[in-house]
């Protein structure tokens, strides 16, 4: 792992001892699906049409801090209306437009930023919601409609992130972007390290290859998983056989099977940190009764579920 990245993780650690004894800082899972969710448009055979519990909203997390009432979103998905309503029911908004203090975007694919449209004057008409993005992503939003209208109407206030530089939200709370290899037509793609008062989380909803990340960026997924308390990892596809008629070598997400095999080399206590997320509608792990779902659990790993909460302060 690059020394700078490790230093970022350790920079906040001294605050853990002073953290409140109750769970004041939490991560909330707002969605676990790939960009288009599930069932996908036109896929009328998907049994989730008849079972709402099997439907997937696009992947997103929220970070809440009850000490301040602040709430931060990671991704602005096309499902943001339902997701923000769900968040409101567990942590009601206290201040700011929609009760959102900041939005952190990973990249410019539809499931990760298209929800910004609901901040516009046709919908919420928000005022100066801080939106944090990498340089190309920021420039893309500024230069292209309808996103540029959000900037011009002051619905959002864009802030530029720097790779591997922590954005502090409080003395004991921060977010660090880490660039990852991905299909970057309009923007860079990043993962986020989210540091709380005493625990941390890694959020990697989209990446092409763990090997490429290590070779080109010097980042080892094995080391990162050991350094954090929770790791939400790209699980778009389970294996190479779930899209009949498609050359899946041209869709280079790490497969769940391969990620598990790679991480089984770690001591077992680290396996339970991993929560797979960002499931394509074709991925059988999304169904609780599937053998693939059970395989993940049997190996000691986890499958993220909408509505889950993870404490980043002292409580487990």
Under 8 Å CB-to-CB from 182, ≥6 apart: which residues? 107, 189, 206, 207, 208
- Neighbouring C-beta atoms of residue 307, cutoff 10 Å: 11
Beta bridge partner(s), residue 202: 193, 231
- Neighbouring C-beta atoms of residue 167, cutoff 10 Å: 18
Distance CA 198, CA 306 (A): 23
pLDDT at 97: 84
| SS3 state at 194 | strand
In a domain, 316, yes or no: no
In a domain, 189, yes or no: yes
In a domain, 31, yes or no: yes
CATH number, residue 281: 3.60.15.10
Task: Give 65-87 pLDDT, tens digit per residue.
Answer: 999 999 999 999 999 999 999 99
In a domain, 250, yes or no: yes
pLDDT at 162: 98
- Neighbouring C-beta atoms of residue 279, cutoff 10 Å: 26
pTM for the full model? 0.93
* Domain of 62, in residue numbers: 3-16+23-311
Task: Give 231-258 pLDDT, tens digit per residue.
Answer: 999 999 998 878 777 776 777 889 999 9
Task: Give 151-201 pLDDT, tens digit per residue.
Answer: 999 999 999 999 999 999 999 999 999 999 998 899 999 999 999 999 999
Percent of the chain whose predicted confidence (pLDDT) is above 90: 82
Enclosing H/E stretch for 167: strand 167-170
In a domain, 240, yes or no: yes
Of 315, 2, 3, 15, the C-alpha closest to 195 is 15
In a domain, 176, yes or no: yes
In a domain, 260, yes or no: yes
In a domain, 130, yes or no: yes
Task: Give 27-49 pLDDT, tens digit per residue.
Answer: 999 999 999 999 999 999 998 89
Cα angle 220-304-261, degrees, rounded to a multiple of 5: 40
The tally of domains found in the chain comes to: 1
């Amino acid at each position: 792992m690059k020394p700078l990245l490790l230093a970022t993780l350790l920079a906040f650690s001294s605050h853990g001892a002073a953290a409140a004894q109750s769970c004041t800082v939490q991560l909330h899972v707002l969605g676990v699906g790939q960009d288009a969710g599930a069932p996908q448009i036109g896929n009328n055979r998907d049994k989730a049409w008849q079972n709402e519990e099997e439907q997937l909203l696009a992947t997103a997390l929220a970070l809440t801090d009850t000490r301040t009432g602040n709430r931060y979103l990671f991704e602005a998905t096309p499902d943001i209306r339902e997701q923000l309503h769900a968040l409101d029911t567990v942590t009601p908004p206290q201040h700011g437009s929609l009760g959102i203090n900041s939005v952190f975007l990973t990249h410019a694919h539809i499931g990760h930023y298209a929800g910004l449209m609901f901040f516009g004057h046709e919908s919420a008409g928000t005022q100066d919601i801080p939106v944090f993005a990498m340089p190309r992503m920021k420039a893309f939003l500024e230069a292209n409609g309808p996103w540029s209208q959000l900037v011009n109407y002051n619905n959002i206030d864009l802030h530029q992130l720097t790779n591997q530089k922590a954005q502090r939200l409080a003395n004991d709370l921060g977010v660090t972007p880490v660039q990852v290899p991905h299909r970057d037509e309009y923007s860079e793609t990043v993962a986020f390290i989210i540091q709380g008062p005493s625990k941390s989380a890694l959020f990697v909803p989209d990446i092409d290859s763990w090997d490429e990340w290590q070779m080109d960026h010097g980042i080892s997924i094995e080391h990162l998983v050991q350094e954090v308390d929770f790791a939400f990892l790209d699980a778009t596809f389970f294996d190479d056989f779930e899209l009949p008629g498609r050359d899946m070598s041209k869709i280079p997400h790490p497969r769940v099977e391969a990620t598990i095999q790679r991480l089984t080399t770690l001591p077992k206590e680290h396996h339970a940190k991993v929560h797979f997320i960002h499931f394509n509608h074709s991925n059988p792990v999304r169904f609780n009764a599937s053998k693939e779902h059970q395989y993940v659990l049997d190996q000691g790993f986890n499958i993220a579920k909408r509505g889950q909460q993870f404490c980043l302060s002292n409580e487990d």
